[in-house]
Amino acid sequence: MFRRVLIANRGEIAVRIMRACRELGIETVAIFSDVDRSARHVRYADYAFPIGAGPATESYLCQERIVEAALQAGAEASHPGYGFLAENADFTRAVQAAGLVFVGPHPETTALLGDKIAARKMASSAGIPIVPGVEQTINSVEEATGVAEQVGYPLLIKAAAGGGGKGMRIARTPAELPEAVRAARSESQSAFGDGRIYIEKYLERPRHVVIQVITDSHGTVCHLGERECSIQRRHQKVVEEAPSPIVDPELRAAMGQAAVRAAMAAGYLNAGTVEFLLDGQRNFYFLEVNTRLQVEHPVTEMVTGIDLVKEQLRVAAGLPLTFRQEEVRWHGAAIECRIYAEDPYNDFLPSTGTVSSYREPAGPGVRVDSGIGQGDQISIHYDPLIAKLVVWGQTRAEAIARMRRALSECTIMGVRTTIPFHLAVMANPRFVEGRLSTHFIQEEFAKQKAEPAPADRQLLAAMASLACMLESQRQVSPRPSDSASPRMGAWKIAGRRRALETY
């Protein structure tokens, strides 16, 4: 096993990886930009090295500086986390060229699967169902029109080098096709420096379900079941759970076997996820492979009891996985809510500033992966993820109830957060019944954009009462949090929080 590992990332994922390292007796090396000088991941690490200014292009995306920091620190390996350089084949090559171990797949695999057209070809050759469409680049509107006549509308025009919804457009009619092709190509060129596009059939209201896979260099290839990731805003997941409410053991086995075939066909090493779309008849179609640890990996860890980061480090060190496929068991249900510094009732616009008060929930079955604390800054330079709140229950119903309780105990002041949105999701009848699709937010919450949410209205009333009281007492107090439950009065919440503070 390694003696010292550099984590090429920041925030909650850097802390998460460092915790796994510490349990394995591995020393950790943090990197930080100027604005992260006092961040939690820097304070948690055994060693820390500055790598540049606040903008990611001047720090966390600077490959040479990160590799140089690893060499100066005497690190033997680098874990990329997710985002930044996690799926950059050139960074993997740079790490390896410096004589270090990259905790992740081979660069050739990353490059292959990063090309969506090549990945579709790989999946198709492995006998995995793919969404109807083409497996070559579309070079003109005329060519797109010919494909449309074969595949049928609606169509999805996608960037070959794409991800995160960028370079993606829907064409529902022939009249919409020319502009969709132009816009997708232009955005793809701007976002990825690669204007290649291709076409798939657009599935109406699908579910987004991913399969966790992990392999080692000893020939073991395993899947750890599925995660339901259908609740998304701007094509980014915000609530995930395992298992999926719609996946039964037979479907799990079929999707798991398909994911394993994909991993084997790509020569995959280490942890990754194979992503699928499910239609209304529970037919699944290959979407893509993410060649890294994913944000929502804790829900898989909660239901399997397997620490994915520790397994990643073992695999990178040349050791075998600690389990076999037949030893994987799934227990209970886990849900993750990504708590962002965003305003959910204003199109999830980022909310920057200082976190003036921060208190995490606790209790049975509750896990919080976070990278900030009281007094920390939510910067404009990075993803506004504050924390991942994860709960486990013996049943999905218990997990939902536990998430409601945990959200109500969570206090974050100074910035807007998605806590009110998550409380509304947990109370939503469709969510409780498990009737999900990638259009869930659009269908269930669009009508709330124009007016304050119920929790916010209650919050405003509570704020007004509190302001009157404070004025009379001539005292100063911080602004109440957004985390008020829509079913509880503000004074009851305040009383409970006061009681919690006495322990």
When computed from its CA atoms, the radius of gyration of the chain, rounded to whole angstroms, is 23
Catalytic residue among 185, 227, 252, 292: 292
First to last CA, the chain: 41
Residues facing residue 78 across a β-bridge: 6, 102
**Measured between alpha carbons, how far is 6 from 14 in angstroms, rounded to an integer?**
10
Q: Tell me the backbone φ, ψ of residue 467, rounded to 5 degrees.
A: -60, -40
* Residue 43 among the catalytic residues: no
Q: What is the DSSP string of 130-178?
A: B-SB-SS---SHHHHHHHHHHH-SSEEEEETT-BTTBT-EEE-SGGGHH
User: In the 8-state DSSP scheme, what is residue 46?
Assistant: S
Q: In what order do the strands lie in the sheet with 221-233?
A: 284-290, 270-278, 207-215, 221-233, 236-242, 333-340, 385-393, 366-370
Give the side-chain half-sphere CA count within 13 A for 226.
Answer: 29
Residues 6 or more apart whose CB falls under 8 angstroms from that of 142 comprise none
- Buried-exposed string 163-175: b where 16+ CB fall within 10 A, e elsewhere: beebbbbebeeee
Strands 385-393 and 333-340, by their bridges, are antiparallel
Query: Active-site positions?
Result: 292
